[in-house]
Structures are given as structure tokens and as C-alpha cells.
Amino acid sequence: MINSEIQRPQSLSDQIRLYRVSGSSYFARPDSVIGRFDLCDSLHRLYMLCRHSKLVAGLTYLWREKNICSVLWQRCTSSRDNLESPNMYDELHRPQYHFTAREHWLNDPNGLVFYDGEYHLFFQHNPDSVKWGNMTWGHAVSPDLLHWEQLDHALLPDDLGTIFSGSAVIDWQDTSGLRTGDEKTMVALYTSAGEHAALPVPFTQSMAYSNDRGRTWTKYDQNPVIGHIRAQNRDPKVIWHEPSGHWIMALYLDDSDYALFRSEDLTNLQRTCGLNLPGVTECPDFFELPVDGNSEDRRWVFWGSCGGYLIGGFDGIDFVPETDVMHAEYGSNGYAAQTWSDLPAADGRRIQISWMADGKFPSMPFNQQMSFPVTLTLSRFEDGIRLCRAPIVELERLRTRTYLTEPCRLLPGKNLIPETIHDLLDIEISVEPASAHAFGLVVRGHTIEYDCFSKTISCLGKEAPVVTGDSEITLRFLVDRTSVEIFSGDGRISMSHCFLPEAADVPIECFVRGGELQIVSLRVHELASIWSTP
């Protein structure tokens, strides 16, 4: 017979909870400013041993009365094999407001499309492992770009290859002739990665379609729709060009070379032009935006995987660049961004999401995360038109508590520590450097620093220029359990970084070096988890 007892909890301060089972000790510590121990395995074993004993009642007491064990309790009382349970979305390193696959490997966002009240997010996914390989299209839907429901896999490997990246559109006018019911046809164009087929063949471009809101898919019986051109040509991005009445496809070829194709029916595609983005490879996107919101002054943007882009004009056949390659993304982990197709005209936004490539998630059932979605705009500055990125406004719905700082001076050695111990944060800060040489934040043990002389911001080994028009500098930081995304106030630069938390006494603190700093405003918004809120 197993004897069990629980030491009565005293306070929330620094108490370590001790559970005794047959003379063995299990230690747990509540959420604190230095993080949390992952006791999923030990507590699950504890629960399985003692589920019929007084221990369960004791854990219930700690949870309900002291509000310190909710996360651990969920881990204990959920089957470790039941990965579909929403309780399994609170592992130690699971991002809480960034999309992750329920389990296994994830990379590029694919097939981003809106239809009938749902945002569809397809993604590169290995259904069998936390490592890259066996590429399929995973599938999730959301009513609000915040809360996601993962569905069955959409596209699986076949004789033409594994399923690499691509895009999706709604064929509103049934130009493809594939519609069979009342729903409009959702069409996906993707790369068949032939080199990964059972009998290797070259990379080609294929098509699949759905007549039931993306729930089931049929591959086009005359695939591929574009044969092999060169190397590992891949990543088709398709849009509808209303002025010419044609579908336009952007395709990566090799090195820094891309091409545009056009079609009346999505199945017969003709190449119209080629272009080169020095230093940029794969994952093209192609879209039009107004400049400063002026519908009479519009430009086209050709985007590549690492955040490099061109601005220019497009007549339905040729894209003519007006700029050299510029960059919007400067972080270590922002990659393969794509934008949603078919957003309602009443919305009017161009919304983008990225893969936050190569983050580390040790001992987790999943691997890799997406960025938080951003809205793209074009703005005119003294040095020309630039693409700007800012988190979608829907993020504000997750705010639960805000810490506000009145304008104040910050001196070297006198760090400002906001009154929060939360690990999900949206931070907005505006400062006037005064005599400061540098200032910044320490976020979960990692330093983010702005150099007042070089006017650059650095984080985790990467550096980005921050153009300021006056003495005031505005920055924004989105902090999740394993990531930080940085945005300049005007949106011209962004930095996407993944991290594992370092030892720290507080989750965030502000510092200054070399002189004083005037904090104009500081808002620290605590955020709710998308996995536990409606």
C-alpha cells in the first residue's frame, strides 16, 4: 500500500512544494520571475501511482486554494499520449501566443487564404518526427488570427515527391472548372519535391483543390502543372490580377533568380518575365499596396525568404523594379514569410506571417514556431518608399493587465524594473536619449541594446539600423516564452529572434549606459495565452 502526505503550503513567496510518496521526494516550484521547472514526467508518474489516494485531493487544494499548480495539475491529469488535449499546449517551452503544431516538426507557412470566416494556415510539417523531413502540408484554421484549431493533414507525399511550399487561392469565378458544389473552390499550388520521392525525379509544380472549405483535398489528375525548369525550382505563390484577368504565379528558380507566370485557368501557365534579387533566395511573395494609404498611388512588392524585397510596377506581364533590394527583417529567425490571400475588401489589410526558423525547443513534443502576424504597409520617407511591418491590432484582445510608467529620468546603474512577473508581454517604449550612450532592455536574461551614436539596435548577435526623425525613439517588443520580436516605431525594421531563457531575477528591466535617459512613456502589457482563452 502506498502512503502519501502533503506538507501544507505556507506562502507563495519562495516556498518549494514537497510531495512525499513512499519516502521519495518530488519537488515543484510555482511560477516565479526566474521561470519554471518542467515536472511533467515526475508528476505524471506521481499521479499514476497515487490517483486513488489523498494526494489528488492535496494537489486539488494547492491548485484551487493557492492558485500555484494549475499548469502542473493539467499536466498530471492529462494523458501524456493525448496530444489533442488543449491542456497539452502548456509545456515548458511552448509559445503561448504564437502558432505551433500540436506535435512534431513545422516550418514554412503555406497556402495562406481566407474563406467563409476562416483564416487558413497550411504549413510545412513532418507528421512523424520532431526533425525535418517527410514534408506534408499541415493545416490549421482560425476565426481571428489568434486562436487556432489544427485539422487533419491536407496534402501527403506521392510519386511526384514530398509536398514542399506553395500557396492557395479561392477560385471565385471557377476559372479552373474544378467546382462541384455550392462552395467556392479552394486551389493550392505547391512544389512536388521529386528528389525526395521513392523513385527520385526533378522538382515540379503541382495543384490540388478542395470543394468543402479546405477539409478534404483532391490532387489535380494532370499534375504537374509546371514541369522542371532548373535546379530545385520551387515555392509557387499565386495571386489574382484583376486588371488583366489572369492568375499570376511567382516562382523561385535557383541562386537569386525568380520568374513570373500567368494563366487564365490555373492549369496552363506561361512564363512572362524573370527577375533577380541579389542575396535573396526561395519563398517568393508578390502583392500590391497603396503608398501612405492613397489608393491612387500604388506599388508592387516582390518579397523573398529572408525579408529582402523590391518595390516596383507591374502591368500584368512584367515587373519593373524601382529600387534595389531592401530589407524589412533583420533578426536571426525571421524566414519564409507569406501573406494571406482573399481577405475581404472591407478589411483592406495585407497580413503576413513567418516561420521563426531554427529555434530551440529541447524535450518538447513539437519543434519550431510561427511569428506573430503583422500588417504590411508602404510609407514614404525622406529616403524613399519603404515597406513597414506592425503587429496586427488583434493582439490587443489578449491584453489582461498593463503596467504604465510616468515620464521619468533613468540613470546608469539605476535600472527600471516594471512590476510584472509575467512571461507573455507586449512592451511599448518611447525615450529621449539625452546624454545616454546606449539604452535597452534585458528580457528574460537576454540584452537588447540601442546604440545612440550608431543608431542601431542589437539583439542576440544581430544588428539593425533604426532611422529616427527627431530626438524621440519608439520601439516595440513582443515577448513569448521562447521568442522576442522587435519593431521600430515607424515599422521600417523588425527583428525576429528565438531564445531559451537565461537565469534572471526579473523578466524585464530597462537600463541606460554613459548618461541619463528620459523615458517618455513605457507600457508593459501582460498577455493571455491563445491556448486557454476563447
Q: At what angle do helices 70-77 and 40-50 cross, to 10 degrees?
A: 60
Task: Compute the half-sphere exposure of residue 30: CA atoms within 13 Å on the CB side of its CA.
Answer: 18
Going by their DSSP bridges, the two strands 4-6 and 17-21 should be labelled as antiparallel
Determine the pLDDT at residue 87: 58
Name the strand (E) or helix (H) holding 18.
Answer: strand 17-21
Q: Cite the active site residues.
A: 108
Residues 6+ apart with CB under 8 A from 142: 118, 119, 121, 148, 149
The CA-to-CA distance between both ends of the chain, in Å, stands at 43
- Cis preceding-peptide flag for 362 (omega within 30 of 0): no
Q: Which of 452, 449, 434, 421 lies closest to 511 in space, CA to CA?
A: 449
Give the cell for residue 111.
497556402
If 0-12 CB within 10 Å is exposed, 13-18 middle and 19+ buried, where does residue 25 land? exposed
| Ordered per-residue pLDDT tens for the chain, 534 residues | 333 333 333 433 333 333 323 333 323 333 333 333 344 444 444 444 443 344 444 444 443 443 444 444 344 433 334 445 555 899 999 999 999 999 999 999 999 999 999 999 999 999 999 999 999 999 999 999 999 999 999 999 999 999 999 999 999 999 999 999 999 999 999 999 999 999 999 999 999 999 999 999 999 999 999 999 999 999 999 999 999 999 999 999 999 999 999 999 999 999 999 999 999 999 999 999 999 999 999 999 999 999 999 999 999 999 999 999 999 999 999 999 999 999 999 999 999 999 999 999 999 999 999 999 999 999 999 999 999 999 999 999 999 999 999 999 999 999 999 999 999 999 999 999 989 999 999 999 999 999 999 999 999 999 999 987 678 999 999 999 999 999 999 999 999 999 999 999 999 999 999 999 999 999 999 999 999 865
Q: Which of 339, 355, 374, 371 lies closest to 480 in space, CA to CA?
A: 371
What distance in Å separates the CA atoms of residue 53 and residue 63, rounded to the nearest whole number? 17
Alpha-helical segments (H) within 236-385: none
Q: What's the whole-model pTM score?
A: 0.84
Q: Which of 521, 350, 386, 409 lies closest to 467 in space, CA to CA?
A: 386
Look up residue 322 and give its amino acid. E
Determine the pLDDT at residue 532: 80
CA torsion, ordered 83, 530, 420, 410, to nearest 10 deg: 120
Beta bridge partners of 320: 313
CA torsion, ordered 340, 344, 346, 351, to nearest 10 deg: -10
Contact 483, 98 (CB under 8 A): yes
Determine the pLDDT at residue 141: 98
Contact 333, 359 (CB under 8 A): yes
